[in-house]
Structure 1
Amino acid sequence: MTSDKMETDKADTSSHVQGSRETENARQHLLPTQQDALRSLPEDAKWYKKVMVRYRRVVAVVIPSVIVLSAWLAVMVAHNHWNLFPEKYFMTITMVFGSLVAGMTSEGGGAVAFPVMTLAFGIPPSVARDFSVAIQSVGMTAAAFTLIYMQIQLEWHSIFLGTFGGIIGVVFGFEIVDPALTSSQKKLSFVCIWFTFAFALFGLNIYHKRRTFPKIPNFNWWKGIVLVLTGFFGGIFTSFAGSGLDICSFSVLTLLFRVSEKIATPTSIVLMAGNTSVGLFWRHVIMGHVDGECWQYVAVCVPVVIFGAPLGSVIGSHFHRLVLAGLIYVLDTVALVAAFAIVRPLSTELVLMSAGIITFGAVFFFCLTRAGTRFLRSIEDAEKKAANVGDMTELDKTINDKNKETEPNTTRMQLHENITEI
């Protein structure tokens, strides 16, 4: 009877701990300063302080929205661009779904915009790429402001080093890689790369009970090099597809370095904000190649993406992460099948290229997951070793304390024996 009760108590305790962990994982990680501000807010605080602290989520969304919408309205009124909506309305509808996906998942809005524009509407990949970069430089920057204002915890090593690598990668891609690819190669490369990202999510969901960290553990030089290279290749993907640094960063942080998804996702958003802003500057100012059609699409989509992404994050918080992962599986699979059905001529070279990208991506993410397992094991072994050393140190301290306590008694006994002999 006692044994059964102990087992029941143990099961209840385990369920309580697991439930607590799930609840904690469902929340965004706030910095300690924001947590302290929430706890220590006095009841008699001024109204604007209460608003800024208690309703920080609303304030964080309203501030960038008001700024962006004010600038957008000024341009639309000054140039009388309202006539663009009847002609370009299909992109407004597209970005309703694109912005919701961007808010609900770790993929950016370009993951919907680029394949829909190039495959469904036959828009040139260069225009679709420039649109994705431009619209994300608005939406992601607004989202980055929201995250920083709310003091959501971020992985700053990844942000600084990934941004450095991403700047080099996006410039290199614009100047070297993008001109070397044909229109069909860009379309198929995009859908294949995003399809391989599904392998990363699958690997992540297999080990959903794995141990995670709020930042990269024991940061050193080789981890910094990995982050720079991640940014570099992500920047190259952005140069011909309009996005890519976000999924590269998310995959490396979660699969290799075992950083929590709740920290890796906002980190990838901040990274993408910087990368698309630099990319837009390079394309529009340095190269001067942004097509006027791109700006027309941006004009009809700005009011949608400003509110769509925050709404998507709210909707996504009510779904289990496996449901959201399933949504990405479906979107990426549909895009891949549609690309092979629409792209013509579908040469043997394109088929082999696509098969090579998918195969390499699957193997790469498998190896990344295995490397992450070894990385976690090395961290745990180091912790066990440190714990053993700490236990030995504590034991030595206890022995020394006991020796100090027995030394006076031993001295008195020896003195008594000497007096007796005399």
Structure 2
Amino acid sequence: MVFGSIIAGGTAEGGAAVSFPVFTKLLHIPPYDAKVFALLIQSIGMSAASLLIFIGGIPVERRVLLWASSGGVIGITCGAFAFSPLLVPNITNVVLMATNAIVGVFIYQFILQGVTDNVRGYWIASVPVVVVGAPLGALICSILSREAIVKMLLVLILIEVVTSLILIPLNLTIICYSLSGLMLFLLVFYWMYQNKTYQREGWIY
């Protein structure tokens, strides 16, 4: 939890990127419980990190927050009600993910009644660690270079991909969809990288 909370507070990955694979692959916790726990704990950790970001005067792209948060609220609401039952189980993004996670917690706790006693127990036990670890991660990553953060995230993503390929049974359909999605988004990211419209114009405080 210490490692996951530092990753959550300092990057756009979120603690769920660490907790969900560990819970499902190592601890064999049911995917639904792992998903809801990841959402609950992310709402605490990223909110704590966001608070440190604002108090410390660390710059964020405020122009992005309103529009992206609005889309995130709509997306997580649609996901919780429409898409989730059908599925098999950077600094500015920290603030965005905190907002989305809080909305998700409200939906699962008060509307879907999806927070089980086990998940609530995991959450309560983890809150003290995450409240400290997430702001610490935000502080550490504000000091690190962008290249160092990118390399750290690439290592985490590589570990996740390799373990998933080993543990999850694959068929031709899944492989084709995965490769198609990968190529599509790589092309989109490359186009955005080359397009001057999406180049950063400077910080807004």
Shift of 1:375: 5.5
Query: Match for residue 166 of structure 1?
Result: 72
Q: 2:95 aligns with which of 270, 279, 289?
A: 270
Tell me whether 1:361 sits opposite 2:193 in the alignment.
Answer: no
In 2 relative to 1, CA 375–300 (structure 1 residues): closer, same or farther, beyond 3 Å?
Answer: closer
Aligned-partner Cα distance in 2 for 1:298–1:289: 13
Corresponding residue of 1:115: 21
Output aligned runs, 1:141-160, within 5 Å.
141-160=47-66
Which letter does structure 2 place at the counterpart of 1:150? G
1:347 alignment partner AA? N
- % identical equivalent positions: 34
Between Structure 1 and Structure 2, how many residues are aligned? 200
Q: CA deviation at 1:330?
A: 1.1
What is the alpha-carbon distance in structure 1 between the residues aligned to residue 37 and residue 140 of structure 2?
Answer: 25
Larger RCO of the pair (alpha carbons < 8 Å, separation 6+): 2
Shift of 1:318: 5.1
Residue by residue, what CA displacement relative to the aligned partner does 1:315-342 show, whole Å, maximum 9, x if unpaired?
Answer: 4355433222211111101110100101
**Structure 1 residue 272: deviation in Å?**
1.3
* Deviation of 1:268 (Å): 1.6
**After the TM superposition, which segments of 4 or more aligned residues of structure 1 sit over 6 Å from their partners?**
none
Cα RMSD for the two superposed structures:
2.1
Q: Does 1:328 align with 2:153?
A: yes
Report if the CA contact (8 A) 1:119-1:343 is conserved: no
How far apart, CA to CA, are the structure 1 residues paired with 2:163 and 2:125?
Answer: 26
Amino acid at match of 1:105: T
Rate the CA distance shift 1:162–1:179 in 2: closer, same or farther, 3 A: same
User: What is the TM-score when the length of structure 2 is the normalising length?
Assistant: 0.87
Q: Which amino acid aligns with 1:341?
A: I
Q: Taking structure 1 as the reference length, what is the TM-score of the superposition?
A: 0.44
1:304 aligns with 2:129: yes
Alignment of 1:152-301 (within 5 A): 152-183=58-89, 265-301=90-126
Q: Distance in 1 between matches of 2:185 and 2:198?
A: 20
2:194 pairs, out of 328, 348, 370, with 370
- Determine the structure 2 residue equivalent to 1:99: 5
Gapped regions of structure 2 (runs ≥ 5): none
Contact kept in structure 2, 1:171 and 1:279, CA below 8 Å: yes
